[in-house]
Structure 1
Amino acid sequence: MNALLYGLVVVIWGTTWIAIFLQQGPVPAPVSIFWRFALATAAMMLILAVRGKLRALPLRDHLFCLLQGCCVFGFNFWCFYTAAAWINTGLESVIFSMAVLFNAVNSFLFFGQKPPARFFVAALLGLTGIVTLFWQDLVASGWNSTLLMGIALSALGTLGFSFGNMISLRHQRKGLQTMTTNSWAMLYGTLIMGMIALLRGDDFSPQWTVSYLGALVYLALFGSVVAFGAYFTLVGRIGPGKAAYSTLLFPLVALTISTFYEGYVWHINGIAGLLLILTGNLVMFARPESWLSGRLLRRKANVC
C-alpha cells in the first residue's frame, strides 16, 4: 500500500509543476489558486458526503484546519505561482524537495523529535546543492533580484508546506480522518485566497483556453484531491520524515518534463547541484545502524 501511495505522489506531483507553468499569464495567482482549490474542495466534500465520511470537528480542530489551509492550500502556492514567473518550475520542484530537511527541523521544534546526526550532513549537501544549481544563472544575470526572489519564494513555499505537514501529523495523532481535515483545510484555504483576491480587486474570470482550463482541472482533481490525500495518508502511516522521501524522486520527473516544455538547459552546475540536493535528501533516509546490524548478522551466520 505504501508503494502505491508513493507512486501516486511522485508521478502526480512530478507533473503538477508544468501545470503551474501552463497557468502563467493574465490570471492573478490568488485567483488561479482560488479556482484550483474551490474545485478540489467541492470534489472532496461531495465524495465524503456521498460516502457518509464527512465528520464534524470541534472548534479547536477547525482552527488548526484553518492554519493548515493557510500553510498548504493558500500562501505556499501563492509563493510557488509567483516564483514560476521568475524561475523554471522544474527548478522550483528541486527546491521543494528540500521539504525533508524542513520537516526534520519542524518535527524537532513541534514534537521534540531530535534530528539524527546525519541531518547536518544532509543540510550541508542540500544548501551547497542549491547554490551550485543556481550559480551559473546568478552570475550570468548579475545576481538579478527577481531570480533571487524566485528562489526565496520557492523556499518560503516549501517551509509553509512543511508547517502543514506538522499540522496534519497533529490531526492524525488525535485520531482525526485525513480526508476530513484535508477537506476543511482546503475550504479555508480557498476562502482565504478568495478574500485576498477580492481585497486586491482581482478579476475572478479564468483564462478560457484549453491549456489553462486543462491545467486547472488536473491541479484540482489530481494534484490536490488525489496527491494530497495520498501524501498525508503517508504522513500518518510512516511519519512526515519518511513521507517526504517522495520528494527525492518527483523533481526528476518535473525536470525531465521541463526540459521539453520550458526549454530547461542542462549544464554542469545544474547537474552537480541536483545530485548534491538529491544526495542530501537520500542521506536523511540512510540507516547506517540498520546496515551495520545486517553486516553483523551475516557475519554471525557465516561463522555458525
Structure 2
Amino acid sequence: MLRNRADPRLLLSTAAAPAVWGTTYYVTTQYLPPDRPLLAATARALPAGLLLTALTRQLPRGSWWWRAAVLGALNMGACFPLLFVAAYRLPGGVAATVGAVQPLLVAALSTGLLGERLTRRTLLAGLAGMVGVSLLVLRPGARLDWLGVLAALGNATVMATGVVLAKRWPSPAPLLATTGWQLVTGGLLLLPLSLLVEGPPPAHLTGRNLLGYGYLTLLGAAVAYALWFRGLRALTPTRVAFLTLLSPLVATTVGWLALGQSLTPLQLLGAAVVLTSILIAQRGRPAGPPSRPPKHSPSTSTQEETTIPCA
C-alpha cells in the first residue's frame, strides 16, 4: 500500500515538471517566432522523444506499441492543439481557471479506473485550487468564448485521462524509454497538423529562437516529462495532478520578475490558496487499498517498487 506521506524529494522533483511548464508562456513570447504555436509544440515533443529513444535504444514491444501511441496522443498530440485553441480564444486567466479542474477530473477517473477512493478532502482541495487559480490569474471583465471553454475543458480531460492510463499501464521498460515513445508519438501527430495549419518552419531562425526551442525541447519536454512520469510511477495520479496547479503560479511569478507585471493583494491571496490546496492534497490519505484492482495491472505495492502537463 502507498505511504500516506510521500518522500519530499520525490514530490519536489515531480513538482519541478509543472514548474518548468509554467515558464513556457514566457519563453514562447520572448524567444520564439510569433504566431507559430503548433511549431513550438512539435519542436518541443518530437526532438525530445527522438533524443530519449536514441539514448535508451529501446523500442516498444507487444501491446506497448499501441499503448505508447494512445498515451502520446493524449498527453501531447491532443493536449497541445486544444491548449493552443483555448489560449487563442480565451484570455489566459479564463483558460487557466478552466484548466484547474484537472485534479478533480483525475480524482474522478482514478475512482473508476484504479479503484481509488474519492474523499471529501480531495474534493475540497480541488475546489480550493480552482478558486486560488481564479484569484491568481482571472481578470474582471474577462470574455467567455464557448469554443475556447470547450477546448480548455477538452485539454484538461485528455491530459487527466493520459495521467490515469499511464498509472493503469505501468511500463516494463525503463522510464526514459517510455517517456521517449510518448514524445515521439505526440510529435508525429503534431507534425502534419503544424505543416497544414502554419506551413513550413521559418527560413531563418535567430540564435534567440534556437535558444528558446532548445529550452523547450531539453528542459520543457525531455527533462520535465521524465520527472513527471517518474513521480507518477511512485505516487497516486491525484497527488501528481494537484502539482499542475503550480504552472499558473510559476507563470504569474515569472511575469512579475521578468516582465515587470504587478501583483495585487488578491493575486497573493490566490497564490496562498493554491499552495494550501496542493499541500492538503499531498498530506491527506490519497488512496486506500483499491476496492477494485484494475485487471492486467500489478498491485499497488508492485507499482511503488518500480518507482511517471500539457503544458
Q: TM tier, shorter chain?
A: 0.7 to 0.9
CA change 1:10–1:136 in 2 (3 A) is closer
Pairing partner for 1:44 from 48, 52, 63: 52
- Alignment match, 1:101: 104
Larger Rg: 1
Distance in 2 of aligned mates of 1:158 and 1:261: 28
Aligned residues: 278
Matched residue SS, 1:285: helix
Q: TM-score, normalised by structure 2?
A: 0.74
- Alignment match, 2:121: 118
Pairing partner for 1:57 from 49, 53, 61: 61
Whether the 8 Å CA contact 2:48–2:217 is kept in 1: the answer is yes
Which segments of 5 or more consecutive residues in structure 2 lack a partner in the other structure?
1-8, 287-311
Q: Which of 81-90 and 216-225 deviates more?
A: 81-90
Partner deviation per Cα, 1:152-211 (whole Å, 9 max, x = no partner): 644543332222212221231x53433222222211111111122344362233761333
Distance in 1 of aligned mates of 2:201 and 2:61: 31
User: Aligned letter for 2:177?
Assistant: T
Distance in 1 of aligned mates of 2:210 and 2:195: 21
Q: Which of 221-230 and 248-257 deviates more?
A: 248-257
CA change 1:135–1:167 in 2 (3 A) is closer
Q: CA deviation at 1:217?
A: 0.8
CA change 1:231–1:31 in 2 (3 A) is same
Partner deviation per Cα, 1:190-244 (whole Å, 9 max, x = no partner): 1111122344362233761333321211111111111101110111012222333
Pairing partner for 1:202 from 199, 202, 211: 199
Which segments of 5 or more consecutive residues in structure 1 lack a partner in the other structure?
290-304
Matched residue SS, 2:169: helix
Partner deviation per Cα, 1:44-87 (whole Å, 9 max, x = no partner): 122112xxxx14321x3222211211211222122334444566
- Alignment match, 2:223: 226
Whether the 8 Å CA contact 2:93–2:134 is kept in 1: the answer is no
Mapped pair 1:160 → 2:186: no
Whether the 8 Å CA contact 2:32–2:212 is kept in 1: the answer is no
Whether the 8 Å CA contact 2:136–2:270 is kept in 1: the answer is yes
User: Aligned letter for 2:65?
Assistant: H
CA change 1:17–1:197 in 2 (3 A) is closer
Mapped pair 1:73 → 2:76: yes
- Alignment match, 1:193: 190
User: Aligned letter for 1:34?
Assistant: T
Matched residue SS, 2:283: coil
User: Aligned letter for 1:56?
Assistant: P
User: Aligned letter for 2:30?
Assistant: L
User: Aligned letter for 1:103?
Assistant: V
Matched residue SS, 1:73: helix
Q: CA deviation at 1:252?
A: 3.5
Q: CA deviation at 1:110?
A: 1.8
> CA RMSD of the aligned region, Å?
3.3
Distance in 1 of aligned mates of 2:89 and 2:33: 13
Matched residue SS, 2:109: helix
Pairing partner for 1:215 from 199, 212, 217: 212
CA change 1:32–1:10 in 2 (3 A) is closer
Q: Which of 260-269 and 227-236 deviates more?
A: 260-269
Q: CA deviation at 1:92?
A: 6.2
Whether the 8 Å CA contact 1:98–1:281 is kept in 2: the answer is no
Mapped pair 1:169 → 2:167: yes
- Alignment match, 1:292: none
Partner deviation per Cα, 1:88-134 (whole Å, 9 max, x = no partner): 76986676565433321221132221211212212332343455445
Q: TM-score, normalised by structure 1?
A: 0.75
